[in-house]
Amino acid sequence: MYCVFSEIVERKEPARIRYEDDEVIVFDNRLRWVPVMLLVMPKRHVSQEELWNSDAIAKVGKVAVEMGKQYCPGGYRILSNFGPDALQSQHHGHIHVLGGIDLGQYA
């Protein structure tokens, strides 16, 4: 099955990469609902549930916090969508870092 996130990891699709190491990659979301929308994920393709039920979530979470502090010094929100009712559009496990503006009660 085609996965645009895996294609970005393999440099087959373009993305503005903000951070990368051997296990994790961070890039700008193509959606621009708020000024900062970063996607943080393991390079290895795993589902959302697999990510959250593995040791990888600790590393992904740590990187997400670092990115939030760096790109959203006034505050940020970290979230993850599970399933179509939550607007999950990609099967590659990931978390969002949102910020750069007062997010109010909901983003």
The residues annotated as belonging to the active site are 94
Tokens of 79: 């979230």
Distance CA 52, CA 39 (A): 15
**76 three-class SS:** strand
CA distances to 20, 24, 58, 59, 74 from 30, in Å: 18, 18, 25, 23, 22
Nearest to 5 by CA among 19, 23, 25: 25
Q: Which residue has the tokens 């979470």?
A: 61
